[in-house]
């Protein structure tokens, strides 16, 4: 059983997100360790990229900080290796844009990802019709390809996306880019239910999830996991120059968000 499979066998799971190299490669290792110690069940690690079109301003600025700190893809693989040494059983998923894989070469990229200890890769901007070069390389090295499904994805396209997916499915809760929201949009339970009919893979919901009540809503909707990114990345930005305060803020935020994994007796599902 893979680390991802083992995690979702005891779901719901809390999935945290960070950009490798933000605010620096050594600091990002300490950020990852603080998040793990606070209770992250799976860690998504973004490879910094110059044009992160799926990301809102908070995460976009994190990409910029990481790139200005000189973070390379080699640095990211080295970081993953160090996190794997620190947390042998923790599932690790790389969040990336396709150009990074294309420039490195798919076989080399997935070989190095596997050697570093990554369990899955989420390619945020690769259409299913153009995944033919990537799919066999991921399979060759035992890397799960995490599928993305949005509220606007048609049922027919959902089937096509799910046919090549493994690990878990990332359900995008809203139309638009990543970022904190005051409220989650209506229809999350409907999206979870519709995709659940098409796959036995675990379903995790992200984009906009930033409060304990959001976490509670997602779990009540039937999701196997909840993904929080911008709310955590914002704390890194707000505590620039105060690493101890940054780590304390991350631990407190994750502890509060994790409390939402226990649903209300009568949850309000949009």
Write out the E strands in 97-216: 120-123, 144-145, 147-149, 169-172, 203-206
Nearest alpha-carbon partner for 91 in 173, 162, 9: 9
Catalytic residue, chosen from 44, 60, 112, 144, is 44
Beta carbons of 178 and 209 less than 8 angstroms apart: no
Beta carbons of 16 and 254 less than 8 angstroms apart: yes
Residue 85 appears among annotated catalytic residues: no
Residue 55 appears among annotated catalytic residues: yes
Enter the tokens of residue 257: 């968000």
Enter the tokens of residue 23: 């605010």
Catalytic residue, chosen from 22, 41, 55, 144, is 55
Q: Which residue do the tokens 């693989």 mark?
A: 77
d(CA 232, CA 94): 17
d(CA 243, CA 184): 31
46 by DSSP, 3-state: which? strand
* Residue positions annotated with a catalytic role: 44, 55
């Amino acid at each position: 059983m893979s680390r991802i499979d083992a995690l979702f066998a005891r779901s719901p799971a809390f999935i945290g997100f960070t950009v490798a190299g933000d605010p620096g490669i050594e600091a990002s290792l300490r950020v990852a360790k603080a998040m793990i110690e606070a209770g992250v069940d799976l860690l998504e690690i973004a490879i910094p990229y110059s044009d992160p079109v799926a990301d809102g301003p908070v995460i976009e600025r994190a990409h910029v900080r990481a790139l200005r700190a000189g973070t390379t893809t080699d640095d990211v693989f080295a970081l993953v290796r160090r996190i794997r040494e620190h947390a042998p059983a923790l599932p690790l998923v790389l969040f990336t844009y396709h150009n990074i894989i294309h420039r490195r070469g798919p076989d080399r990229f997935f070989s190095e990802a596997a050697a570093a200890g990554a369990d899955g890769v989420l390619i945020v901007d690769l259409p299913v019709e153009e995944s033919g070069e990537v799919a066999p390389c991921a399979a060759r090295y035992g890397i799960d390809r995490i599928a993305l499904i949005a509220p606007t994805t048609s049922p027919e396209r959902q089937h096509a996306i799910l046919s090549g997916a493994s690990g878990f499915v990332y359900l995008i809760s809203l139309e638009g880019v990543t970022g904190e929201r005051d409220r989650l949009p209506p229809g999350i339970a409907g999206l979870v239910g519709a995709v659940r009919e098409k796959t036995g893979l675990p379903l995790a919901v992200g984009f906009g999830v930033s409060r304990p009540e959001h976490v509670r809503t997602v779990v009540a909707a039937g999701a196997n996991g909840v993904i929080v990114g911008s709310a955590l990345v914002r704390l890194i930005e707000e505590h620039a120059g105060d690493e101890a305060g940054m780590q304390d803020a991350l631990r407190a935020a994750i502890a509060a968000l994790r409390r939402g994994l226990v649903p209300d007796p009568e949850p309000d599902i949009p």
